[in-house]
Amino acid sequence: MGLVSAHKLGGPKGIGALIVRPGVEVPPQLKGGGQEMGRRAGTENLIGIAGFAAAAKAAAKDLADGLWDEVAEVRNILDSELSAGPNETISVGNGLTRLPNTLCLIAPGWRGETQVMALDLAGFAVSAGSACSSGKVRASRVLAAMGFDAARAGEAIRVSIGPGVTKDDVGRFAKAWTAAYARARSRAA
């Protein structure tokens, strides 16, 4: 069984799909009519479904055309720039298969929330947690499962880029992040 949200691939918010293997019974949350085999109540959101289908088609084309390979290349350039130099940056998952548009960095001695504020002032938006834990203050279960303690997990940020982000853009980000990290380290010394 799997769940897919349309907004994760550029479709409308509020629509998704539940993928169920044949023979798996899913108990209804709200009793529905016969048109949905009793699984859900209400009328289908046809406009949302059509938007989801269009987004899925466009995403499949982007994938086939290598768009996300290009995004991964730009992400890798950013990763290299941030991992180079005198700092002790940890690039989480570096060398492993990972999402092409996302980079998770741990900056020892620099709290994630402080990084978010410093980068916001520099004109960049990043997150100190996963997208689905926004606003919550607790260590990442994923980072803990990867062997990072709560202190290291609290020093992590997530940087997401997309198809419109250029090598120059990530170069400017790397310069701003590196300068802010140097300031943070000098204050801590």
Catalytic residue among 3, 46, 125, 132: 132
> What residue type is assigned to position 59 of the chain?
A
**E runs forming strands in 11-144:** 16-19, 90-92, 102-106
Residue 104 appears among annotated catalytic residues: no
Query: What residues contact 135, with CB distance under 8 A and at least 6 apart?
Result: none
Rounded to the nearest 5 percent, the helix, strand and coil shares of the chain are 45, 10, 40
Phi, psi of 165 (to 5 degrees): -80, 130
Active-site positions read 132
